[in-house]
Every structure is written in C-alpha cells, then in structure tokens.
Amino acid sequence: MIDVGITVYLDDNIMSIIEFGWLYQSWIYTGCYEMSDIIVFHNPKLKKELLPKHENIIYAPLVPLSETDEEWAYYPHINGTWFLTTKEATFITKYKYILRTDPDCFLTSNFKNLRPRLALFGLSAFTKRPDVTEKLLRISTDWGIDQYYINIGGTIMTFSDDVINFSNLQLEYCEKLRDEEFKEGFGEWPGWYKRVINMYAGQLAANAVFSNNMILGGLDVFCMSDDEICPQDYHIHAWQTWNYFSKMRWHKGEYDNVDCDKLNKNIISDYCMWIAGKRVIK
C-alpha cells in the first residue's frame, strides 16, 4: 500500500530539472516507487516533456510565489516552503506520511521502509558563527519559542497534516523575519543573511511545532561523504560543495569521463555519482 508522498517544487530551471532526475532515478533504483508517490508541484512554464513519466508521479502546475509576490521576487527558494501551504496541496493529506524535499537529492534503499514515529529532519550548517546562533536564540526568546535544536535541515518527513502545519508556520516566520530582521539590507553569508531566511524560519518553526518530539539526522546526508551507506542513511542531499560528489562540478562537466561501472555504490559519494551518471541535458 502506498502511504508515503514525496513532495517537491520544481521551477522552470534546466538545472533543477536535471537534478530532479537524480531523485527520480534513485526512487526507481531503490524500489521506493513501490511504496510512495512523487508529487511534483511545478511552474506551469516548465516543459513537461523533459520530465520522467511514471504512473506513481503526479504533476501539479502551480505558479510560484516568487512570480506573484514582489516581496519574494528576489528569493525563489521560498517556493520550496510555500507550495505546501496552498489550497492546491491539500490533497496530499491522503498520504499518511509526507517527505518534503528539494529536487537535488538521492533516496537510499533504507528509505523504502522509513515510517518515523517522531518528526524527522535533516541537518544543516547555517549557524556556523556564534552571532547567528545568538541572534536566533534571541528571536526564539522574543517569540516565546523554546529552542531545543539548532541547524535543523530543510527536509522533513512526518505525518501529512503535521508537514502542512509546519510549512504554514515556516512561511509565516519567513515573512516575519523578512519584515522585522532584514529592514536594512541582505547581510552577508556566513553571517546573518537574508538569502537563508527559509532555514532560519524552519528552525524556529520546527522548535515551535515539534519541541523535543523530533529527530535530526538520516535526511540531508552529505553527498561528499566517503563513508559507506549505513542503515540510518535514508536521503542524501547534493550540498553546495566542491568536494566529490559535487553537483557544481557535475554541472560543469568535470565528471563526464567517470567510469560509473567502476564505482562502489555502497559508498555515499560514489552512489550519488552512479545515480547521476553522465550529463544527458547540456
């Protein structure tokens, strides 16, 4: 029985379309298609002939918030939070569990049987500096939120109603942070930075909604790890890195001559490379 929905937002961007192919290929290779649907909310401008076809993939056109709200025109990443707050997304409650993820990810065979009792999040690394950590703690205190965890990743898997509730609060906090904390500019990475606003809001919303009833890890695993895939590795994210496996190097064509037949699919970085294979869309 299919009780899991894997949700993504896909914009009209060739790079995102290619990366979605990695998620799809890993979904097929691991057999996850047997127990989950992929629901792709996408920019209606996207050329659907470039996308894979499968009876367990649902395509739902949805004009992105970054095109309809000038307050978010600078930040297309907001679409990956916003899409599950729309009326068009309410049908996902037919699934018991929802994985909300980005297109540039890989599923492992361990994901097939994942049914977390508590909300499961990946890990991130946006609070690299003490001033960012301190600012988020100050905001948590001001907003009446108990801070249980930091560096909460953008990928979440839990019960479908909870994913929708979390996404709604995360979007509300994105707007609140934008209006209250970034009145004087964008800031600069890795310090307090407006272009990471969805991650800040996600951390605040996760602590507010789930408190200590969540688990971090197993999602958003480092794509550049040379460790073997372990039973707790469910989902690998193509992080912004120049280390192997690097999606930036992949898009530049630096892996075109890799012999994928010689890769060890038990190693995380090799598994990502094997799934991605050679570039097929230039």
Q: Is 122 exposed, middle or buried (0-12, 13-18, 19+ CB in 10 A)?
A: buried
Q: What is the pLDDT along the chain (282 residues), one digit of tens a residue?
A: 899 999 999 999 999 999 999 999 999 999 999 999 999 999 999 988 999 999 999 999 999 999 999 999 999 999 999 999 999 999 999 999 999 999 999 999 999 999 999 999 999 999 889 999 999 999 999 999 999 999 999 999 999 999 999 999 999 999 999 999 998 889 999 999 999 999 999 999 999 999 999 999 999 999 999 999 999 999 999 999 999 999 999 999 999 999 999 999 999 999 999 999 965 443
- How would you write 66-124 as a 3-class SS string? HHHCHHHCCCHHHHHHHHHHCHHHHHHHHCCEEEECCCCEEECHHHHHCCCCCEEEEEC
Q: Which two structure tokens, joined as six digits, stand for 55?
A: 């009876």
Task: Write the CB contacts of 162 (distance below 8 Å, at least 6 apart in sequence).
Answer: 119, 209, 210
Q: Is domain 4-276 classified as CATH 3.90.550?
A: yes
Q: What ranges do the domains of the chain cover?
A: 4-276
**Statement: the pTM of the whole predicted model exceeds 0.75:** yes
